[in-house]
C-alpha cells in the first residue's frame, strides 16, 4: 500500500492538472464564440455565391472554362488538408488526417500520384510522415485567419490545375455542425462541377437574371473566387470545430480529474486508517508485553 505522503502528492498533482484543464476549457469557450460567429456570418454569403455560380454554369455555353473541364488522363491528385496547429482537442485532428489518408489511398489505387497541400501544423507533420509528397505546408497560421491565406492556397491550386500539374484537387477539413459534432468533410474543388442551388424549389414563377457582361465572362472571373471562398469557408469551419473539440476534451479531462481526486481521497483515508490501526496494534502489543 502506498504511503500517505505519496497519495497526498498525487492528489495535489491531479488538482493542479484540473486547474489547467479548467482554464483551457474557458479559453476554448471564449475563442469558440468568435469563431462560431465568423462561420455563421460567412455561410449565407458562401451559399449565395454557390447559387450564383450554379446559375452561371448552367447558362454558360459548353462550360468551356478550364476549371470546369476534366482532364482526360488523370495522373496527379492534390489534397488540401486543413487541420489545427495545436493538439489537446480529442480525436479532431486524427479524424481529418484519417479521412485525408483514406482518400489518398483510394486515389493511389486508381493509379494517381497523390500530393498534399496542408494548412495547420498537425496535418503538415502527418503528411511528412505518410510517405506522400508534400507540395506546400502552412504551419502556425490557424490562430489568425484571413482571406489572404485562402486566396494564396486557392491560387496555387488553380495555377497547378490549369498548367496540368494537378488533374484533381480535393479539400478535406473539419465541418462545424454543432458543439458535439465536427465530422471531417471532403469536397472536390477541381474539376469543378456546376454546384446546385442549396435553396428549396419555390412554387410559382421563378426569377430570371440578366447578366452584364455575358455569363462566360462572369464565370471566368467568379470561378477562381469561388475556389477561394470554399477554402476560406473550410478554414473557418475547421477553426470553430477545433475550439469546440478542445472545449469538449478539456471538459472531459476536468471530470476525469474530479473522479481521480475522489478515488485518491478514498485511498488516502484508507491508508491513514490502516496506519492508525497499525500504530494502535503496536501500542497495545507493547503494553501487553510489559504487563506480562
- What's residue 195's pLDDT? 54
C-alpha cell at 165: 500539374
- Where the chain has pLDDT below 50, the residues are 197-198, 201, 204
Three-state helix/strand/coil letters over 50-67: HHHHHHHHHHCHHHCCCC
Contact indicator for 75, 167 with CB cutoff of 8 Å: yes
Tell me the whole-structure pTM to 2 decimals.
0.83
The model's pLDDT over 150-191, given as tens digits with 9 standing for 90+, comes to: 999 999 999 999 888 999 999 999 999 888 889 999 988 888
- What's residue 291's pLDDT? 81
Q: Rounded to an integer, what distance in angstroms lies between the CA atom of residue 229 and that of residue 53?
A: 12
User: What does DSSP say about strands 168-174 and 113-119: parallel, antiparallel, or unpaired?
Assistant: unpaired
Helix (H) or strand (E) holding 201: none
Contact indicator for 51, 198 with CB cutoff of 8 Å: yes
Contact indicator for 93, 122 with CB cutoff of 8 Å: yes
C-alpha cell at 279: 500504530
- What's residue 232's pLDDT? 93
- What's residue 60's pLDDT? 61
Contact indicator for 47, 84 with CB cutoff of 8 Å: no
Helix (H) or strand (E) holding 135: strand 133-138
The model's pLDDT over 212-222, given as tens digits with 9 standing for 90+, comes to: 777 777 777 88
Helix (H) or strand (E) holding 174: strand 168-174
Q: Which residue is associated with the grid cell 493542479?
A: 16
Distance of CA 18 to the CA centre of its chain: 25
CA proximity to 89, closest of 239, 236, 242, 235:
242
User: What does DSSP say about strands 133-138 and 184-190: parallel, antiparallel, or unpaired?
Assistant: unpaired
Q: Which residue is associated with the grid cell 471564449?
A: 30
- What's residue 23's pLDDT? 93
CA proximity to 137, closest of 146, 70, 149, 111:
149
Phi, psi of 91 (to 5 degrees): -95, 20
Amino acid at each position: 500500500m502506498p504511503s500517505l505522503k505519496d497519495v497526498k502528492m498525487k492528489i495535489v498533482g491531479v488538482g493542479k492538472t484540473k486547474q489547467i484543464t479548467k482554464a483551457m476549457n474557458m479559453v476554448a469557450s471564449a475563442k469558440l464564440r468568435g469563431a462560431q460567429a465568423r462561420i455563421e456570418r460567412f455561410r449565407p454569403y458562401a451559399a449565395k455565391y454557390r447559387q450564383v455560380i450554379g446559375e452561371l454554369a448552367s447558362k454558360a455555353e459548353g462550360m468551356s472554362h478550364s476549371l470546369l473541364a476534366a482532364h482526360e488522363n488523370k495522373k496527379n491528385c492534390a489534397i488540401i488538408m486543413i487541420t489545427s496547429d495545436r493538439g489537446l482537442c480529442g480525436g479532431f485532428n486524427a479524424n481529418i488526417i484519417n479521412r485525408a489518408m483514406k482518400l489518398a489511398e483510394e486515389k493511389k489505387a486508381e493509379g494517381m500520384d497523390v500530393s498534399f497541400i496542408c494548412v495547420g501544423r498537425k496535418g503538415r507533420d502527418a503528411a511528412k510522415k505518410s510517405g506522400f509528397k508534400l507540395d506546400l505546408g502552412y504551419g502556425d497560421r490557424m490562430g489568425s485567419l484571413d482571406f489572404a491565406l485562402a486566396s494564396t492556397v486557392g491560387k496555387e491550386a488553380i495555377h497547378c490545375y490549369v498548367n496540368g500539374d494537378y488533374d484533381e484537387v480535393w479539400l478535406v477539413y473539419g465541418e462545424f455542425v454543432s458543439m458535439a459534432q465536427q465530422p471531417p468533410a471532403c469536397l472536390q474543388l477541381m474539376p469543378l462541377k456546376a454546384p446546385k442551388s442549396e435553396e428549396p424549389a419555390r412554387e410559382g414563377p421563378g426569377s430570371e437574371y440578366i447578366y452584364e457582361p455575358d455569363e462566360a465572362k462572369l464565370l471566368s472571373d467568379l470561378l477562381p473566387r469561388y475556389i477561394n471562398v470554399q477554402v476560406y469557408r473550410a478554414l473557418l469551419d475547421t477553426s470553430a470545430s477545433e475550439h469546440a473539440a478542445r472545449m469538449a476534451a478539456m471538459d472531459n479531462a476536468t471530470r476525469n480529474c474530479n473522479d481521480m481526486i475522489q478515488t485518491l481521497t478514498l485511498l488516502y483515508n484508507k491508508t491513514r486508517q490502516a496506519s492508525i490501526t497499525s500504530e494502535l496494534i503496536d501500542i497495545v502489543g507493547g503494553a501487553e508485553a510489559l504487563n506480562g
